[in-house]
Amino acid sequence: MIAFLIPMLLASAQSQITDILTAELARNVTGSLDKDGVCHCTVILPDSTFPADRLEYLEIYNYNLSISVEQQITTIHSYELLVTVYLGKLKNLTARVETLETGGLTYTELDFQLLKLEITEIEALIVQLRASLNGTNVIVEALYVEIRNISILVHQMESYDKNNVLVIRREIVALQKRLEECQNHVNSSRPPPPLVYGTCEHGGLVNISKPFVVHLNYDGAGYTKGAWGKDSAVGGGKGYYFVAPLYTDLVSMRAFRIYSSYNNLVLYKQHAHRSISSNSDYGQGTGVILYDNFLYYNCFNSRNLCKLNLDTYALTRMTLTDAVYNNRFSYAHSTYQDIDLAADEDGLWVIYSTEQKYGNIVISKLNETSFTVTQTWTTSLYKPAASNAFMVCGVLYATRALNTQTEEVFYMYDTKTGKEGYLNIPYPKMKEVVQSLSYNPNDHKLYMYNDGFLVSYDLIFQPVGIEKSSLE
Ligand SMILES: [Ca+2]
């Protein structure tokens, strides 16, 4: 249209100039002839007669107009090309949306995402085109309206997803992302530094593993009360294991077995069976431990401690002053365990109670060589309120039954500081009653005699320099 207009304007301007010149040249003027025979004359044209300045202006205007028109033509040609390209794309989009509308294909999240992306792209370009043309182009306006309609249609179709396929797919993607994050977190989490057995380079007990059932005691299921464990002197003595079920009276220990290895214990073979013949040498209750190849226990019907050499079977005794016995202040659910031997990284201990302390737990440190008490601490925990107790790095930990399937470490007393506190470390048990419970510093395990079954647990300590919360 504009291209057609330009030649018309140019032709009109030239016609006007020709008419003016023709009218002025019709006048007669006086001239002269030079020596070469060339004629000269002077014509004075008044400005009012011939508008030379207008001619000049017209020429400049004509020139500028030509440039402007050429630029517009170039611009329009480029827009025509763009419109042609996007018209093709729009037709393609229209066809795809129609296919989706008629349900000819299974639409997916990807279909919609691609459609929306392309529509957004075209919409942006059309908006740009529309602005360039000042909103005067009918075709562009129509394109704009059409692309807006398609955009709305795609959004509506997405919302018509009755089967929530897209929602589920998005949730799956979100779950996969969380899974990857979790996996990355696990991979990036550095394992805590290994704890050295027999040392106290940790921040205390923070958790207890699930139980590991070794097997039933050698006397059978009827022998529900007893004790078992591994040599708990730091270094492990000879590494022997002992199993000591109480006699059928459920009070006295009259026999026990020693196994030279864990495999022998599990396979019931190559054991040393020891029967105690003298009543005074019997054990009483289940607070028995094996420490540096000596068996320590409460001597029968007394407040004495017995120390039995497993090589020579020589027996040594000591009196635990003021200690009550004969089931005066035993543990809850487990009778005749007034005196409970224990061992940890710091050595040999005995846990008991006295009338003077009203049945509260008293802890005494023993010198195993001289077999004497070196120091004593009194706690505020009533001994029958606990189901059992053990020592770790000079700290007494007491347990109680939460129910028939769960025990809990609920109390601690630190002999180094004299401070006590309450804990909440539950752990499962296989049978209802904990008949004995001892810690071994050589493997960080708890050894439990659980209604006739030999059970062990791994203790989990807080590594030094790592926050407690990260371990729970
Ligand atoms: Ca114990």
CA torsion sign for 237, 243, 247, 250 is positive
C-alpha of residue 212 to centroid of ligand 1, in Å: 18
Instruction: Kindly give the distance from the C-alpha atom of residue 260 to the centroid of ligand 1, in angstroms, as a whole number.
Output: 23
What total number of domains does the chain contain? 2
CATH number of residue 269's parent domain: 2.40.128.630
Tokens, residue 24: 């002025």
Q: Does the reported pTM lie above 0.75? A: no
**Does 149 share its domain with 210?**
no
Are 155 and 237 members of one domain? no
Separation of CA 438 and ligand 1 centre (Å): 5
Assess contact for 456 and 447: CB atoms under 8 A.
yes
- Specify if 25 maps to a domain: no
CA of 384 to the centre of ligand 1 (A): 13
Which residue range is the domain that position 337 belongs to? 203-471
- How far apart (Å, rounded) are the C-alpha atoms in residues 393 and 461? 11
* 397 shares its domain with 296: yes
* 170 lies in some domain: no
Examine residue 235 and state whether it is found in any structural domain, yes or no: yes
Residue 191 Cα to ligand 1 middle (Å): 31
Same domain, 98 and 241: no
Residues 111 and 259 occupy one common structural domain: no
Q: Which residue has the tokens 């409970």?
A: 340
On whether the CB atoms of residues 288 and 436 are closer than 8 A, the answer is yes
Does residue 23 belong to any structural domain of this protein?
Answer: no
Instruction: Give the model's pLDDT for residue 6.
Output: 41
Q: How far is the CA of 432 from the centre of ligand 1 (A)?
A: 16
CA of 291 to the centre of ligand 1 (A): 14
Does one domain contain both 99 and 153?
Answer: yes
Ligand 1 geometric centre to CA of 228 (Å): 11
Q: What is the whole-number distance in angstroms between the Cα of residue 448 and the centre of ligand 1? A: 9
pLDDT at res. 117: 77
CB-based contact 344:393 (threshold 8 Å): yes
State residue 79's pLDDT score: 77
Q: How far is the CA of 82 from the centre of ligand 1 (A)?
A: 88
Looking at the structure, do residues 418 and 290 belong to the same domain, yes or no? yes
Centre of ligand 1 to C-alpha 280, Å, is: 23
For residues 122 and 244, state if they share a domain. Answer: no
**pLDDT, position 297:** 98
Ligand 1 centre and the CA of 406: distance in Å?
A: 17
Distance 133 CA to ligand 1 centre (A): 92
Structure tokens given for 472: 């729970």
What are the 10-residue block averages of pLDDT along the chain, 472 residues in total? 42 49 56 82 60 72 79 78 78 75 60 72 72 64 70 69 62 69 60 75 93 92 96 93 96 96 90 94 97 98 97 96 97 96 97 97 97 98 97 98 96 97 96 96 96 95 67 42
- Asked if residue 365 and residue 293 are part of one domain, the reply reads yes
Cα–ligand 1 centroid distance for 361 (angstroms): 12
Contacts of 86 (CB under 8 A, 6+ apart): 122, 125, 126, 143
pLDDT of residue 114: 72
**Distance of CA 343 from the midpoint of ligand 1 (Å):** 9
